[in-house]
């Protein structure tokens, strides 16, 4: 599926890279056929594995949710999501309007049995490696049930993507003591303690904002409001750091030489924390996966997102989630 903001060369190059690693991949590309046909030529493997569905209309970043349902029925995003809800495709990958992707997916693909609301999860870099953080903005309402759903969804993702058996789950709070936070979080914590008696739920307890970057747990669970603010604050802080660093390096001739000599090292830091490479939001809890990539993704970001989708599908992420939900529901009925 082709959005309108990311360079189509980057999308095609990224998909092609992922295809070379995941040979069974098939793609349905939604967008202007003429343009895609012309650009896809140099990627022989991708050309063979793809079907192009011509559509000129697309949902822009400024389109309002109310307008989309009325006026954008022939847009690339709408048609791509419909191909998922009609079981022609297994997942949808978008580079466009997150809100539109969220509401159209919820409406057409619908949530998994036993999951109240989907969540947006992201792979967050930390000192130890990576963790799954969710929800990053699908539901801004604080609700104990959503926090429990997010724990199941995050744990399923982490076990597949990080290839670990019992990912540890942390509940984001303002401190680690039992009395911290609010009623909804304390109630979710109590339930998770109960559920951790079930083999597959490995509840660590409360974690704080700085524990995300330390990597104290494999999964960090929070509501969509807090998660969204935390994610954007982290992005802002990384940019601030970068900006101060650039200023500092320009401040003297010695530091300029220093910058030149260490520029490769600097580049590797930028790459490791660059949202154009790593920022993809995985919408979980729906009957099929929907993944949103950063609007200005580079080919590496595209191939990274495509790899994630492939890995989740190959490992039957939804079946695993349903298994957890079933285990928990039977436990709660005991």
Under rule CB under 8 A, residue 244 binds its own copies: yes
Cross-strand bridge partners of residue 290: 92, 283
Residues in the interface with its own copies (CB under 8 A) total 60
Give min distance, CB of 68 to its own copies, in A: 14
Separation of alpha carbons 81 and 290, rounded Å: 8
Under rule CB under 8 A, residue 224 binds its own copies: yes
Give min distance, CB of 73 to its own copies, in A: 23
Provide the terminal-to-terminal Cα distance of the chain, rounded to the nearest Å.
45
CA distance to 14, 15, 95, 122, 267, per residue, from 58 (Å): 21, 20, 11, 25, 34
Q: Binders of its own copies among 9-38, rule CB under 8 A? A: none
Question: Under a CB-based contact definition with an 8 Å cutoff, are residues 209 and 237 in contact?
Answer: no
Give min distance, CB of 151 to its own copies, in A: 17
Under rule CB under 8 A, residue 237 binds its own copies: yes
Under rule CB under 8 A, residue 254 binds its own copies: yes
Under rule CB under 8 A, residue 182 binds its own copies: yes
* DSSP string covering 101-168: HHHHHHHHT-BPTT-SS-EEEEEEE-SSSEEEEE-SSS--S--HHHHHHHHHHHHHHHHHHTT-SS-E
Q: How many helices (H) and strands (E) does the chain have?
A: 15, 10
Under rule CB under 8 A, residue 162 binds its own copies: no
Nearest residue to 328 via CA among 205, 203, 204, 170:
203
Give min distance, CB of 269 to its own copies, in A: 5
Q: Binders of its own copies among 71-100, rule CB under 8 A? A: none
Question: Of 153-161, 172-180, 277-285, 287-295, which part binds its own copies (CB under 8 A)?
Answer: 172-180
Rank residues 44 and 258 by Cβ distance to its own copies and give the closer one. Answer: 258
Under rule CB under 8 A, residue 61 binds its own copies: no
- Find the binder of its own copies among 10, 63, 149, 211 (CB under 8 A): 211
Rank residues 72 and 216 by Cβ distance to its own copies and give the closer one. Answer: 216
Nearest residue to 230 via CA among 172, 294, 159:
172
Q: Binders of its own copies among 259-318, rule CB under 8 A? A: 259-266, 268-269, 272-273
Going 265 to 270 to 273 to 278, the CA torsion angle's sign is negative
Applying CB under 8 A, the residues found at the interface with its own copies are 125-127, 137, 140-142, 172, 174, 180-182, 208-214, 222, 224-226, 228-241, 243-245, 248-249, 251-252, 254-255, 257-266, 268-269, 272-273
């Amino acid at each position: 599926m082709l959005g309108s903001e990311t360079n189509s060369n980057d999308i095609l190059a990224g998909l092609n890279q992922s295809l070379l690693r995941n040979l069974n991949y098939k793609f349905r590309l939604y967008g202007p056929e003429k343009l895609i046909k012309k650009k896809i030529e140099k990627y022989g493997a991708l050309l063979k594995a793809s079907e192009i569905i011509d559509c000129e209309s697309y949902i822009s970043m400024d389109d309002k949710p109310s307008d989309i349902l009325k006026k954008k029925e022939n847009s690339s995003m709408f048609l791509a999501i419909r191909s998922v809800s009609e079981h022609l495709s297994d997942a949808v990958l978008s580079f466009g309007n997150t809100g539109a992707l969220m509401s159209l997916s919820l409406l057409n693909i619908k949530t998994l049995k036993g999951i109240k609301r989907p969540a947006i999860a992201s792979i967050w870099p930390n000192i130890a490696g990576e963790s799954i953080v969710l929800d990053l903005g699908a539901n801004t309402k604080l609700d104990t049930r959503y926090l429990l759903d997010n724990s199941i969804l995050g744990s399923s993702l982490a076990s597949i993507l990080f290839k670990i058996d019992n990912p540890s789950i942390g509940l984001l709070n303002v401190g680690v003591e039992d009395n911290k936070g609010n009623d909804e979080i304390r109630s979710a914590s109590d339930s998770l303690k109960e559920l951790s008696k079930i083999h597959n739920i490995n509840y660590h307890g409360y974690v704080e904002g700085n524990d995300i970057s330390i990597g104290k747990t494999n999964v960090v669970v929070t509501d969509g409001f807090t998660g969204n603010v935390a994610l954007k604050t982290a992005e802002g802080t990384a940019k601030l750091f970068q900006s101060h660093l650039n200023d500092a390096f320009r401040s003297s001739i010695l530091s300029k030489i220093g910058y030149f000599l260490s520029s490769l090292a600097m580049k590797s830091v930028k790459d490791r924390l660059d949202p154009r490479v790593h920022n993809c939001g995985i919408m979980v809890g729906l009957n099929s996966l929907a993944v949103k990539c950063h609007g200005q993704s580079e080919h590496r970001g595209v191939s990274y997102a495509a790899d994630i989708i492939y890995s989740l599908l190959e490992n039957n992420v939804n079946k695993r989630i349903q298994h957890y939900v079933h285990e928990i529901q039977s436990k709660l009925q005991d």
